[in-house]
A and B are shown apart, each in its own frame.
Chain A
């Protein structure tokens, strides 16, 4: 998977912006915007997993939802499998839905409690394909086999399942229409540790078998390190660093990535006794009113005067590694186009 040759990316996102308007006052006039996603670009190669990490409120889920056009985006372009997604009208978009699917965080809330498992998995088939009832049932059984659900459970309702099994139902539904690209939005966050590993292994198996491409959104850095080929780190609506998994975890360059990684505790008492985490002061600023200059300047331990004035450019370190930080402005030249990682290694 990591050995990606010079192929065209399956997903190409350029300067994506998603602002949510704030309305206030008697006439609900537009007084400002929450800049949830403020100009991000990245590519994902076919068969690759891009991990998208960041803290709550940084906009990572909004990225996942906007590139599947679950929101009408404010600006930028999104290209999936060669077709433009960002601006197409509803009818054309509907035809493109089968190739791009989503697995949601909360398997409890994303499954209709009044539908049986068979109907939940079968709903996308009813919407997009014309199958006879035998074909439909055969497909449902096949999907249930793929995700490791017993066929006998087809007539049961979601509340009869545990969290891990419910997430399997959600995965089966996402796979129903043979998608090429799946956005996994915190798929394991609501699950117990011993169940998390089961679901992650399943996602990896399915990727190998069906040649799927994932955008894996998570705040769990250790899980992202396990599943992702490349990792993008977000802070307050922007990508601050993107690199191959090994490079990012071995040698983080952006001060935010450094702090984020150092904050993760290790299940090893000896190591923990000697670990001195970079403890960031304060909280994430509001995306309605981001600071001037670099978004991270209010909490950055290495902040300089320039950071509070000018937004940093994106510096290319080669081999698909890009960092948006003034610390590297002297040694590096700005890339012409922030692609958040040239995938041609």
Chain B
């Protein structure tokens, strides 16, 4: 991907807070990121790191209350998605930005046929007639590799297996030819052999249709295979981002480094003992005033408890991490800063 291409989606300073009975929870804390046309951005983090909430905030899919968008801008197609009217936003949702959810079991409506659910966005967004929508639905099911599509339109979600249901979800998300597809853990609920099928399908569709994809996952293996760029999230913040090769070969943030080491390998040498990140991720009741990872970080020093590190550029283009160690390193070795 050329670095110079204008981002199709540009998010700045996004902040989402949940107001709960036990106080506020700062789920997303000033997240900045962008997505270029045709690019696949992998978003990695543990549960509670804010990766799903960030993406759902973009399209205001979170119920409010308890969710509250405090700040930020989401530039898409020349307009700020956080400022436009609900009517305009509805035109973007499902049409220009498609969404695939983790659990294909609960995100399809069990009382409508798959054909009805596929035709719904086509008729609502593209104003197709029943016949046109039906023809396009058959085409879409074919595209995602569901055999005998004409007959299957009449079936209900429970008549499909898990993998097939996820294919239906993908078909619905792709129905209106979106420019951006957001996939929230699309393969987590699936078995490995079915996961392999879905990943191959997404790779194929990407080549055919050329949309930009945001792929949220906690599985570093999946990300390594498909992403162009990776963004690592921890406690509602982006702690590191960069080209996929850099992130895996030369991770800079201690959290990314530790995360890569905790996963045992299926191939190659086998470690006698697993590396562990001690402790658990914090619950963010306040805006972070210091590094959120410091209590689990083996390199933490005084400064980590006093300030919150910002993302700083590292040698490789596009590679940034939020850690004070990088300042320390650059002070000792000034030549490393500019590569």
Binding site for B on A (CB under 8 A): 55-56, 162, 164, 192-198, 200-201, 204, 219, 221-223, 225-226, 246, 249, 259-273, 275, 277, 279-280, 283
Contacts and interface: CB of A to CB of B under 8 A. Distances in A.
Nearest to A194: B277
| Chain B CB within 10 Å, residue with most, of A264, A267, A268, A272 | A267
5 contacts: A197-B275, A225-B265, A246-B270, A279-B193, A279-B200
B6 to A, nearest CB: 25
Interface string B189-231: 0011111110110000000000000000011111111110000
Interface stretch (B104-112, B256-264, B309-317): B256-264
The 10 closest A-B pairs by CB, nearest first: A265-B221, A272-B225, A267-B220, A55-B191, A263-B196, A226-B264, A194-B277, A197-B274, A192-B46, A197-B262
Contacts of A56: 191
B47 interface: yes
B276 A197 contact: yes
Contacts of A261: 266
Interface in B221-245: 221-227, 244-245
A263 to B, nearest CB: 4
Nearest to A54: B191
A275 B196 CA distance: 12
B38 interface: no
A310 B259 CA distance: 47
A225 B270 contact: yes
B196 A279 contact: yes
A264 B266 contact: yes
B192 A260 contact: yes
B280 interface: yes
Interface of B: 46-47, 161, 163-164, 191-197, 199-200, 218-227, 244-245, 248-249, 258-260, 262-267, 270-271, 273-278, 280-281
B161 A283 contact: yes
B52 to A, nearest CB: 14
A200 B223 CA distance: 24
Contacts of B197: 279-280
A136 B276 CA distance: 32
A262 B220 CA distance: 16
Nearest to A164: B280
B276 A201 contact: yes
A283 B164 contact: yes
Contact of A266 (B47, B259, B267): B267
Contact of B221 (A195, A196, A260, A264): A264
Name the residue in A200, A201, A226 with the highest tally of chain B Cβ atoms < 10 Å from its Cβ.
A226
